[in-house]
Structures are given as C-alpha cells and as structure tokens.
Amino acid sequence: MPIAALTPDMQETFALTDRVVLGIESSCDETAASVLRRHQDGTVTLLSSIIASQDEEHAKFGGVVPEIAARAHMRVVDNVIEQAITEANIDYTELDGIAATAGPGLIGGVIAGLMAAKGLSMALNVPLIGVNHLEGHALSPRLAAPCPFPYLLLLVSGGHSQLLSVKGLGDYERLGSTVDDAAGEAFDKSAKVMDLGFPGGPNVERAALLGNPKAYALPRPFARTGHANFSFAGLKTAVARAWESSDKSDAASADLSASFQQAVCDVVCDRTSNAMDMFLRGAPHEAAPHRFVVAGGVASNHAIRAALEALCEARGFALLAPPLRFCTDNAAMIALAGAERLAAGERSDLSIKARPRWPLDGAAAAANPMSGSGRKGAKS
C-alpha cells in the first residue's frame, strides 16, 4: 500500500510532539521547497518558503512546455531544497518528515520532486509522505489562520475547477467539477489569443482594469441550472471569436479582458451558490456562519475574490482564503498537508508512484468522471 499507518505508539508520539516537515512541490512549472513546524495544538509556524519560477523559460511558447518544465525541476530542485533548509535555520537532521507532491500534475515534474524526497527520506531515515497537490490547496488557509472542518471548498486553478465539501482530512465529497476546461486554462488561453503574454491569468487581470466589463456579450455556461458543475470551453471560444472580429487594439484587449473576467466571476458565483445549497443540506447541524474556502491560483484574482466575498456575505458564509502568495503553487501547503497526514499516523511507502491524475474524491471520480478517464484514472 502507498500509505501505511504508524503503530499506535508511534502515532501517539507523532501527535503529541512538535514536528518539522520539509515540503517539496514540482507539479507544474514552479520548483518549491518549504520547511514548516506543526505544533502539538495543530497550529503551524512557517520557517521557510522558496519558489523557483520557470516563467522566462516558457514565456516564448505562450504556455508551459512539459519537457522543459521537467528538465528545469531536475536542474534546480536540490538547490531550492538547500535554500529552504538554510532559510529555516535548521539542519537536515532536525527534520521529522519529508512531504512531496505525488500528483496530480505534469508527470516529469512530479517525478523530479518525488525522487528528491525519496532520496532524502532514505538518507535521513525519516518518514516520506506523498501528498495530493489538491489536498495542499484544500488545507492552505491553515497556513495563516485556523480553518476547522467542515467547510465548502472552491478549488480553482489552471488545471482544476471544482467544488467540494471538506468534512475532514482525506474526507472530501465532490459537489461540482468542470466538464471540460478549468478557469485558469481559460484565462491563459484567452491571454494567448489576445497576445497578452505569459503567465496569462495575471496579464488578463491587469488588462481588465482598463476595460469595460459590459463591452462584449459573452456566454455564462450552465447559468441558472440546478447543479454545480463548470464549463469554460465555450467561453474561451467566444473570446477567440470576439477578438478575431475586433480591431485588435489595446482598448479592445482591455474591454475583452474585462468582459471575460466578469463572465468568469458570474459563472463562479452562480455555480458556488448552488454548491452552497448542497452543502447546507448536508450539514444542517452546523451553526452559521458556515465556512467557505477558495484556493488555487485563480483565487489570487482580486475581482473573483471580491465577487465571492459579496456572495458569502449575502448567503451567510464566512470566507476563508489563503494569503495571495499561498494561492499559486507553493511548497508550504505541501509541507502542511504532509504534517497533517504525519500527525494522523500516516506515512508513504518508498514505492509510491507519481500520478498524473489523482482526484481528491477518488471513488466518486472513478464512478462518474466529469472530464474524462482512461488508463491513468479519472481526471476529476
């Protein structure tokens, strides 16, 4: 089994002492390492967080090239880990666990980080914890403030758009997911169509500040339907067609960016409102205000955050979101997820494999995949 439970004595020891965990993240185009101390009461102290970006290497291609990303991870991962240890002002021998993203993600990058973690685990004789990258995002608000279970989670990033009821560590129920593209992918592809450069999401947001969000009539997929699923492929196509028929001026790109961003805000709020209804039906015993967490790279978009804040206020939910630096991929969230798993008495076998697909709600995703499946498992 990839995950093994510690013996009762070992579990009690891990739960009743502070634990220092190194986290390694390499699922896409950023190589990151972080050291975190989990205290006995469940609070955490972040000792270091290092991120090596690959933006310059991918910019000329207008998107992430998997082979280039994998090579870059292998080239810098050792140095990034060393920087994290140095910034934390500890010695390797003080580590109680090594956590690394084991999926989902670009397989070459995941392998690079996971192999580094395995080597350190063997050399230091400390537990290895293979972390689901999505669980890192799901727990990331705890890096800044307490975030008790249960809560409704909107995970929105370049590869994922899903709504889940988070009932406990490892206990996730999918309420909605994307049937095609993720919101972050739609941002990046729209930026590429308008030649706004890479990374696309932040560039669209900056352009939108100067535009009119009502300038273009763009679709709101699944609007006013009763479920909580997403679809962004049609919106992405509509942006491409609108740009093709425009004068391709700076004003046009600003207006189209603003109109696209507003459409995403409307879709996200519409889908989230339905998920709130589902969540409330499943947790009638919980006192208001109910907790709503938004995480993932797209959660750093200020317009989307503001729209979700307004929705939460209207629906009686308390919005909890990680600081902006912990919305995008980072190793602090991986260290946190690893520390939580370690405190729960879990560790991974060294035979654990990198996974390109790894839904948080594995059973539901396998039975009813929202965006395709195959030999490598359900996407979502």
Q: Which domain holds residue 211?
A: 147-321
Task: Name residue 48's beta-bridge partners.
Answer: 35
Cβ atoms of 125 and 154 within 8 Å: the answer is: no
Task: Give per-residue pLDDT as tens, 67-87.
Answer: 888 898 899 999 999 999 999
Say if residue 300's pLDDT is above 80. Answer: yes
Residue 380: inside a domain: no
Residue 211 pLDDT > 50, yes or no?
yes
pLDDT score recorded for residue 348: 97
> Residue 221 domain-assigned?
yes
pLDDT for the residue 54: 83
> For position 373, what pLDDT does the model report?
40
Output 26 or 379, whichever has higher pLDDT: 26
On whether both 308 and 342 belong to a single domain, the answer is no
Query: Has residue 315 been placed in a domain?
Result: yes
Q: Do 120 and 184 belong to one domain?
A: no
Whether 374 is in a domain gets the answer no
Query: DSSP strand E in the chain: where?
Result: 3-5, 19-25, 30-38, 44-53, 97-103, 128-132, 151-156, 161-168, 171-177, 290-295, 317-320, 346-348
For range 75-101, the mean pLDDT? 97
Q: Do residues 254 and 211 touch, judged by C-beta distance below 8 A?
A: yes
Q: Which residue has the higher pLDDT, 106 or 198?
A: 106
Q: Is 170 left (phi over 0), alpha (psi -120 to 50) or beta?
A: left
pLDDT at 2: 43
Q: Are residues 103 and 233 in the same domain?
A: no
Res 367 pLDDT > 60: no
pTM of the entire structure? 0.88
Same domain as 350, residue 310: no
Instruction: Give residue 375's pLDDT.
Output: 37
Residues 292 and 177 in one domain: yes
Over range 44-56, report the average pLDDT: 91
Q: Quick one: 283 and 157 in the same domain?
A: yes
The confidence score (pLDDT) of residue 1 equals 33
User: Region 220-225: what's the mean pLDDT?
Assistant: 94
Question: Would you say residue 251 has pLDDT above 90?
Answer: yes
The closest alpha carbon to 357, from 177, 168, 233, 201, belongs to 177
What integer pLDDT is reported at residue 20 of this predicted model?
Answer: 98
* pLDDT for the residue 66: 85
| pLDDT over 70 (residue 378) | no
- Which residues are within 8 A (CB) of 14 and not within 5 positions of it... i.e. 6 or more apart? 6, 96, 342, 343, 345
pLDDT exceeds cutoff 80 at 10: no
Percent of the chain with pLDDT over 90: 77
Is 373 part of a structural domain of the chain? no
The verdict on 36 and 10 lying in the same domain is yes
Instruction: Count how many domains the chain has.
Output: 2
Q: Which of 27-31, 123-127, 211-215 has the lowest mean pLDDT?
A: 27-31
Q: Are residues 357 and 285 in the same domain?
A: no
Q: Check whether 214 has a pLDDT greater than 50.
A: yes
Kindly compute the dihedral angle of the four CA atoms of residues 86, 115, 77, 75, in this order, to the nearest 10 degrees.
Answer: 150
| Average pLDDT for 244-263 | 97
Give the three-class secondary structure for 224.
coil
Q: 292 and 338 share a domain? A: no
> Has residue 335 been placed in a domain?
yes
Name the residue among 2, 14, 230, 213 with its Cα closest to residue 128. 2
pLDDT of residue 379: 45
Q: Are residues 123 and 270 in the same domain?
A: no
- Residue 285: pLDDT band (50, 70, 90) is low
CATH number of the domain encompassing residue 214: 3.30.420.40
Average pLDDT over all residues of the chain: 90
Confidence of residue 61 (pLDDT cuts 50, 70, 90): confident
136-175 pLDDT per residue, tens: 999 999 999 899 999 999 999 888 899 999 999 999 999 9
For residue 55, the model assigns a pLDDT of 77
Q: 216 with 108, same domain? A: no
245 and 163 part of one domain: yes
Return the residue matching tokens 């993203």: 101
Instruction: Output the pLDDT for position 59.
Output: 78
Q: Report how far residue 39's alpha carbon sits from residue 189's, in angstroms, rounded to the nearest whole number.
A: 42
Q: What is the pLDDT of residue 51?
A: 95
| Whether the predicted pLDDT of 248 surpasses 50 | yes
Ranking 11-15, 59-63, 255-259, 357-361 by mean pLDDT, the lowest is: 11-15
Reply yes or no on whether the pLDDT at 19 is more than 60: yes
In a domain, 243, yes or no: yes
Q: Which residue has the higher pLDDT, 315 or 287?
A: 315
**Per-residue pLDDT, 83:** 98
pLDDT at 283 over 80: no
> Is residue 376 situated within a structural domain?
no
Query: Where a domain ends, among 303, 321, 339?
Result: 321
